[in-house]
Structure 1
Amino acid sequence: MMIDSLDAARARLDEVRDGIAQAAKVAGRKPKDVTLIAISKTKEAGEIEPLIAAGHRVFGENRVQEAQGKWPALRESYPDIALHMVGQLQSNKAEEAVALFDALHGIDRSSLVGALAKAMDKVGRRPDCFVQVNIGDESQKGGVPVTDLPALLAEARTADLPVVGLMCVPPADVEAAPYFALLAKLARDNGVAQLSMGMSQDYETAVMLGATHVRVGTALFGKRSKLPGAGEIQIKWRQD
């Protein structure tokens, strides 16, 4: 059963899409070149379905196990949905992630590159890969250090991972623009075209600075339900 009204979901979706369109116009970009990922972590199927009914088809999850519990059934009804993994991925979950997701946004270490290469060969799927950069050099966050990015990209390409872009989560409570600008420069310098950056509070800034994918949760779903341990996850993986 849907537990949010279709009208409310459509209104929130329209508001975010309008924000993306306006920011793209300011930057001389086309809104269609920006993919809106609706971050549905901690949301049940009934909370997600109104947004699907409103026409949205791209969603993001932080945890493999949580996604496995709700998306296979939803995708039976809506087979055109694209699902992105935007949180930290453990190497031992690589095969399950490759089987379920269409894009993986948290590639940040050699062990994961190796695990994903093996998983993709075994499963026969090759989800798009974004290398996560620890753009603020924060010890509590995932992501490859800026200085190690070229080496990890080279390793991922040698392993034949389909690396399409970079991802970052800027430090909290500071202006995000300089970090978005740095990620865009790193992408240009390293020959990758796509940028996964921007959340509910700063997605318009991200679009103006080149984001091709923005990860928006709260602005689309409202405040997130708490799961056990969610506070710690929130600190380490601010995805929306």
Structure 2
Amino acid sequence: MSLAGIRARLEAAEIAAGRPPGKVSLIAVSKLQPPGRVAAVLDAGHRVFGENRVQEAAEKWPAWTARYEGVELHLLGPLQTNKARQAMALFDVIHSLDRPKLATTIARLADELGACPDLFVQVNTGEEPQKAGVAPGEADGFVAECRGLGLPVVGLMCIPPAEEEPALHFALLAKIAERNGLAGLSMGMSGDFETAVALGATHVRVGSAIFGERPGPGG
């Protein structure tokens, strides 16, 4: 696949869902990708990218954001509180707000810095113990807590269990977002983003289908 191929699939999914083409944000997940591949996607005009680790993003993105105008960088992976200041300087959007301690840290830093990235609350829709995210039953309370801190929560994010039907999880996330008055839905990856679009996704996260498979440890 390629950037053009994924864009075509995304547009077709939007049309099939009765949604205006171009409304769903395509996040090109560039984690662990060789610099040449990322630069090629930048050269093709794409500007929305996602990274999983603060340190990796800090090592490679400042040079690209200086060279290419209009880059929008999204943090998709877990965020440690001791990396929050660095993340807030690097990223335009953080998709992994998942616990009260992180919320209070971001709120304190936002007050100090006078700015804050847009935030998605991560919901662990499958209630998997190894995954980050608030449980579905705790999402309403956590969103209210974040709003009480003055945080710019714009939506919800989820990563469904690999062995379960993703549509069930996307529908659950959409229901939680709707009752909390949140417009943003970060859901859907390379293998299931058409399903996510049909169920209301506003942001889809696609990596290997755009860039190719990530190199192995020796690659």
| TM-score (ref. length: structure 1) | 0.88
TM-superposed CA distance for 1:124, in Å, is: 2.7
| Structure 1 consecutive aligned stretches of length 4 or more whose deviation exceeds 6 Å | none
Which one of the candidate residues 95, 117, 141 is aligned to 1:127?
117
Greater CA deviation, 40-49 or 147-156? Answer: 40-49
1:44-99: CA deviation from partner (whole Å, max 9, x where unpaired): 32220000111100000000000000000011101310000000000111110001
Structure 2 contact 13–194 (Cα < 8 Å) conserved: yes
Secondary structure at 1:150's aligned position in 2?
Answer: helix
Work out the CA distance in 1 between the residues paired with 2:28 and 2:94. Answer: 15
Whether the aligned pair in 2 keeps the contact of 1:85 and 1:103 (CA below 8 Å) is yes
Q: Which structure 2 residues correspond to residues 137-216 of structure 1 after superposition, within 5 A?
A: 137-216=127-206
Q: Percent identity?
A: 53
- State the one-letter code of the partner of 2:50: G
Structure 1 CA distance for aligned equivalents of residues 33 and 109 of structure 2: 28
Which 5+ residue runs of structure 2 have no aligned equivalent? none
Aligned CA RMSD, in angstroms, stands at 1.3
Does the alignment pair 1:64 with 2:50? no
Distance in 1, Cα, partners of 2:216 & 2:32? 7
The equivalent residue for 1:99 is: 89
Q: 1:17 aligns with which of 7, 15, 21?
A: 7
Q: Distance in 2 between matches of 1:225 and 1:173?
A: 25
- What TM-score does the superposition give when structure 2 sets the normalisation length? 0.96
Give, as a single letter, the amino acid of the residue that structure 2 aligns with 1:160. G
Alignment-derived partner of residue 90 in structure 1: 80
Unaligned runs of 5+ in 1: 1-10, 229-240
Q: For the residues of structure 1 that align with 2:194 and 2:108, how far apart are their CA atoms?
A: 37
For 2:79 and 2:180, locate their aligned partners in 1 and report how far apart those are by CA, in whole Å. Answer: 23
Q: How many residues align?
A: 218
